[in-house]
Chains A and B, each alone.
Chain A
Amino acid sequence: MTFSPALEERFAKLLTSYPPGRQRSAVVPMLLYAQDEIGHVSQELVEEVACRCGVTPLQVDEVIGYYSMLHRKPLGKYHVQVCTNISCQVVGGEDLYGHAARTLGIGNKQVTPDGLISLEEVECMGACSWAPAIQINYDFHHFVTRERFDQLIQALRDGTYQETA
């Protein structure tokens, strides 16, 4: 498989970050970074990572099933994650998630037909004091109201959204 030079560079760094013979350590970060580039964890990627890290594809499979951020199916270009865990829940997180599902017309872990946006109800994302919170890809948005949510979605659709991470 070929990846972007930046990703290749990251892989090279990853593989030397761990003690000798411990390349297996790179499996999880490699999968996540590669998923960000190609959109999901494909079978081809599984075998590539297995080969580069010196493990079996089964060992990679086991890992993919375990971590909730690794997806076998493509997500939207923008993955919108709404936290409904308790700090968010008590200040409107569940309401916000319901609003998101209705406005986007998709359910949990589904993708809009144009492939632009996917939605996920997620666990605490570490923004509890500034709840309710959402993440768009890796960007945090705090104190999100329905109106703020609608503006963000509009920006995604207009292509005016700027990613920080």
Chain B
Amino acid sequence: MRYNVPSPLETRIISQRFDLPNSASIDTYLANDGYVALRKAIGMAPEAIIDELRASSLRGRGGAGFPTGMKWSFVPRNTGRPSYIICNSDESEPCTCKDRLLMENDPQQLIEGMLIAGWTIQSSKGYIFIRGEYRYQIEIMERAIAEAYERGYLGKNVLGTGWDFDLYTHSGAGAYECGEETALLESLEGKRGVPRLKPPFPAVAGAFQSPTILNNTETLSTVPVIIRMGGADYAALGTPKNGGTRLMCVSGHVNKPGVYELPLGFPLMRLINDVCGGMRNRKKLKAVIPGGSSAPVLKAEECDIPLDFDSIAKAKSMAGSGGILVLDEDTDMVAVALRTIKFYAHESCGWCIPCREGTTWLKKVLTRFHDGGGRSSDIDLIAELANNMLGRTFCALGDAAAMPTAAFVAKFRDEFEAYLKRSSAAVEPELAVV
């Protein structure tokens, strides 16, 4: 089931089965190209599979946009040690709600993607790390896994190849940081979700210190499509170096928010106006956060860009997780900045000083500022604190907190200053001293 009406402008490849009746059942899957790719992959050499991925220019859908083919090629093969396939279904980046749909509506597609990954590195175990809140989705995945076992796609001697592959779900329990790949691996091992030092990278020493392929749900769900249609054809759907389609999660002040599958390079303004039916209540566009809450905000005039990794990066933001938040002229940017930093302060794992103390300090300053106790020096202070975090934290969560904060202040300084005018403390610098 989907929770929004699909758009005719979509290119539905990984969501092609979403609206079929009983879309999660293996029978539906098998009747609609299901497990064709796995059979094909089994006849391919690992290197050939990786080449297809390279040709597809598929880039990770989890946030960092790392080329998937390259990632798989880093995994040492034939080491004689076990290796693992991990699916990152932690989906906790604010504004992002696509992995959930992939699990709810097409769980077999994800399983097939993991099987192909498993076959490529001859791994025999996979885990789907699903955020704890997604219990319902875990249950769907577990039913799907059971069906796949019944039909011989999982378990001993997959499709008569003599190769065994077991797949399990693993529930998280509420922690955004566990989406960070190494923190996820710690969590998978029953520990606090604190990131690991890199190197070694998960490809070499990942799950249980063994070679590991770790990808986002959508990335893995895309793999069967690529093998089926061929890397080059998939790539052709998108723009150079930004192959194929992705699920774009639009939220905020548009008439038809929803998750839509669109080719990379699809223009942002067309997404807002044509796919999503334009701005709600005919309001004017003020800003867009184009890749989840970690992505620096774009002002309306910066929004005339295609939605692919490189173009958004050129606009000094990032495509991230594909969560696109559209904000209209009435939006209080100080409030959004505050809510954003509250999130990061709440989710900072606390391991390193700049993130742990920086996010909290920013939260406190912004809270006071928002509540009418702002001082003129606060605006620069906020920017400087964000700057003192940037590039200095242990993992990317610190940057994910600092980057948007710095952008809010830099791009909407006038709104911050307007707040000051209403502030009671603007001229009383010692007010809040404790």
- Please encode chain B, from 52 to 92, with 1 for each CB lying within 8 Å of some chain A CB and 0 for all others: 00000000000000000000000000000010000000011
Which A residues between 21 and 51 are near B, CB-CB below 8 angstroms?
A: 22, 24-29, 31-33
Chain B residues contacting A152 (CB-CB under 8 Å) are none
Q: Mask for A109-126, Cβ within 8 A of B = 1, else 0?
A: 000000000000001111
From A60-68, A98-106, A153-161, give the one contacting chain B: A60-68
Q: Is A85 an interface residue (CB 8 A)?
A: yes
Q: Would you call B40 an interface residue if the criterion is a C-beta within 8 Å of the partner chain's C-beta atoms? A: no
Among residues of B, the one whose C-beta sits closest to the C-beta of A55 is B190
Task: Tell me the complex Cα distance, A106–B221, Å.
Answer: 42
The contact string, 1 if C-beta is below 8 Å from chain B, for chain A 125-156, is: 11111110001001110100000000000000
Tell me the complex Cα distance, A127–B134, Å.
11
B167: nearest chain-A partner, CB-CB: A17
What mask results when residues 336 to 353 of chain B are scored 1 for a CB within 8 Å of chain A, else 0? 100110010011010000
- From A26, A91, A138, B253 is in contact (CB under 8 Å) with A91
A7 within 8 A of B: no
How many residue pairs between the two chains, A and B, have CB atoms under 8 Å in the bound complex?
Answer: 157
Instruction: Write out, one digit per residue, whether chain B residues 158-189 have a CB within 8 A of any chain A CB (1) or not (0).
Output: 00000000001011111110000000000111
Contacts of A69 in B (CB 8 A): 132-133, 173-174
> In the bound complex, do residue A126 and residue B173 qualify as a contact, i.e. CB atoms below 8 Å apart?
no
Contact A128 B97 (CB under 8 A): yes
B309: min CB distance to chain A, Å: 20
C-alpha gap A129/B173 in the complex (Å) = 23
In contact, B170 and A32 (Cβ under 8 angstroms): no
With both beta carbons as reference points, the residue of chain B lying nearest to A93 in the complex is identified as B339
Q: What residues on B are CB-neighbors of A86 within 8 Å?
A: 94-95, 289, 293, 325, 336, 339-340, 343
Give every chain B residue within 8 A of A85 (Cβ-Cβ).
94, 293, 339, 343
Q: Does B100 contact A (CB under 8 A)?
A: yes
In this assembly, does A4 line the interface, its C-beta being within 8 Å of a C-beta of chain B? no
* B173 in contact with A31 (CB, 8 Å): yes
Q: Is there contact, CB below 8 Å, between B208 and A19?
A: yes
Is A123 within 8 A of B125, CB to CB? Answer: no
Report which residue of A25, A90, A128 has the largest number of chain B beta carbons within 10 angstroms of its beta carbon: A128
The smallest C-beta distance from A85 to any residue of chain B, in angstroms, reads: 5
Q: How many residues of A are in contact with the other chain, CB < 8 A?
A: 49
Q: What is the bound-complex CA distance between A44 and B188, given in angstroms?
A: 23
Question: In whole Å, how far is A17's beta carbon from the nearest beta carbon of chain B?
Answer: 4
Contact B250 A129 (CB under 8 A): yes
Does B272 belong to the interface (CB within 8 Å)? no
Q: Would you call A26 and B190 a contact (CB within 8 A)?
A: yes
Q: Chain B residues near A128 (CB, 8 Å)?
A: 94-97, 249, 251, 323, 325
- The answer to whether B173 touches A124 (Cβ under 8 A) is no
List the A side residues contacting B372 at CB < 8 Å: none
Check if B327 sits within 8 Å of A29, measured CB to CB. no
Q: Does B191 contact A (CB under 8 A)?
A: yes
Q: Is B278 an interface residue (CB 8 A)?
A: no
Q: Which residues of chain B are within 8 angstroms of A165 by Cβ–Cβ distance?
A: 135-136, 139
CB distance from B217 to the nearest CB of A (A): 11
1/0 per residue, CB under 8 A from A, across B93-130: the answer is 11111011000000000000000000000000101000
Q: Say yes or no: A129 contacts B131, CB within 8 Å.
A: no
In angstroms, Cα B82 to Cα A18, docked, is: 12
Closest A-chain residue to B166, C-beta based? Answer: A17
Contacting residues, chain B, for A142 (C-beta < 8 A): 3
A89 with B336: in contact, given A123-B343, A138-B133 (CB under 8 Å)? yes
B257 interface contact, C-beta 8 A: yes
Is B143 part of the binding interface, using a Cβ–Cβ cutoff of 8 Å? no
Q: Is the CB of A129 within 8 A of B136?
A: no
Whether a CB of chain A sits under 8 angstroms from the CB of B4 is yes
Nearest CB in chain B: distance from A97 CB, A: 11
- Given the interface contacts A85-B339, A135-B133, does A127 sit within 8 Å of B173 by beta carbon? no
Contact of B190 among A19, A28, A90, A94 (CB under 8 A): A28
For A126, give its contact among B91, B208, B253, B346 (CB under 8 Å): B91
Contacts of B191 in A (CB 8 A): 24, 59, 62-63
List chain A residues, Cβ under 8 A from B368.
none
Which of B91, B134, B323, B327 makes the CB contact (< 8 A) with A90? B327
Q: Which of chain A's residues has its CB closest to B91's CB?
A: A126
**Closest chain A residue to B177, Cβ basis:** A66
Chain B minimum-CB-distance residue to A60:
B190
Among A81, A89, A127, A131, contact of B339 (Cβ-Cβ < 8 Å) = A89
> Contacts of B296 on A, CB cut-off 8 Å?
none
Residues of B within 8 A of A65 (CB): 192
Instruction: Give 11 pairs: A residue, B residue, CB < 8 Å, sorted on A.
Output: A17-B168, A22-B189, A32-B132, A67-B174, A89-B335, A91-B251, A94-B339, A124-B96, A126-B97, A128-B95, A128-B96
Q: Knowing that A17-B127, A126-B96, A126-B99 are A-B contacts, what are 10 other residue pairs whose CB atoms are under 8 Å apart, sorted by A's residue number?
A: A17-B168, A25-B189, A67-B172, A68-B173, A69-B173, A86-B343, A90-B325, A124-B93, A128-B96, A129-B250
Q: Which 9 A-B pairs have the closest CB atoms?
A: A69-B174, A68-B174, A67-B173, A24-B190, A138-B135, A87-B251, A27-B190, A124-B94, A165-B136
